[in-house]
Amino acid sequence: MKKLRTFFLVAITAIMGSTMTSCNDYQNDIDALDKRVYRLEHLVDSINKNLDGLAMLINAQADGWLITGMAELPDGNGYIVNFGKLDKTTGELSTNPKDKKTITIYNGLDANAPDLSVRYDPTDGNYYWVVNGTWVLNPDGNRIRVNGQDGKDGKDGKDGKDGSSTAPKVRINDYGYWEMSTDDGETWQIMTDSNGNPIKATGKDGKDGEDGKDGKDGKDAAIIISKVVIEVDANGNRYIVFTLKGAGGNGEDIEVRTQIMDGIS
């Protein structure tokens, strides 16, 4: 992201070199640059947290995680969720730091960003990552699975091999375009829209030469959760049910349940 800041700074410096500006104008341009870079850094961080958090929600039950606490973000635009594991010996909540996790999930992000989410495939019962409604593929051309791979005693051939429990990562390159990594940051590729065009993160300049609004007129990005409710089953076990918008095989909303630790209000 430092390179992104340098990119904007060079662009502003070039513009300033062609016109006479006052010290106040110069400082205003620097302030505007800092605000824009901050917004982009926050956006990248928020999307990556969403991807990690969504993977955690979907895999929680299978991996033995329970919700130990949950709070809505101050702006009402998402949730902070705490997870813990039960100690298999004592049956109590583990005190091992490795058995505790906290995730942040944002409902939606007002920015010119790719629509990153998951989709359930009813043909094999797995969740896969999608971007703008299209399956995300790894360098081998295989879909990337959200839920973990099958164990050695349950391998199902190619389906198991293609799966992955590692969430994709995103960043903005030096030229202001979105990139994605499907191998934990080892390699990156430019993300494209439905027409095959690179997705720009920095917005377009207006006719008067002023900076645009960072794509705020675009659709919300990475809308993941549309509803959260608490349910109780016949045995008295409580669950938080997250509704994932458009994550079904035909684009319908689907639900993901994660059990709540006893004693949590």
- Residue spans of alpha helices (H) in 64-181: 158-162
> Order of strands, edge to edge, in the sheet holding 178-181?
169-172, 178-181, 189-190
Burial class of 125 by CB neighbour count within 10 A (0 to 12, 13 to 18, 19+): exposed
pLDDT for res 218: 35
pLDDT for res 213: 42
Q: Model pTM? A: 0.70
pLDDT for res 155: 42
207 φ/ψ sector (left φ>0, alpha ψ -120 to 50, else beta): alpha
pLDDT for res 150: 44
> Order of strands, edge to edge, in the sheet holding 65-72?
65-72, 78-85, 100-106
pLDDT for res 100: 92
pLDDT for res 263: 60
Query: How far is Cα 98 from Cα 84, in angstroms, rounded to an integer?
Result: 9
pLDDT for res 57: 87
pLDDT in tens, the chain (265 residues): 555 555 555 555 554 555 555 666 656 656 555 566 677 888 888 888 888 888 888 888 888 888 888 888 888 878 889 999 988 888 788 888 899 999 888 776 655 677 788 888 989 989 998 887 788 888 788 898 998 654 343 344 444 343 345 788 999 888 888 999 988 888 999 988 777 888 888 654 334 334 434 333 334 445 567 678 888 888 888 888 888 877 777 778 888 888 888 765 5
Contact present, 53 and 103 (Cβ < 8 Å): yes
pLDDT for res 214: 39
Pairing of strands 169-172, 254-259: unpaired
> Order of strands, edge to edge, in the sheet holding 126-131?
116-121, 126-131, 134-135
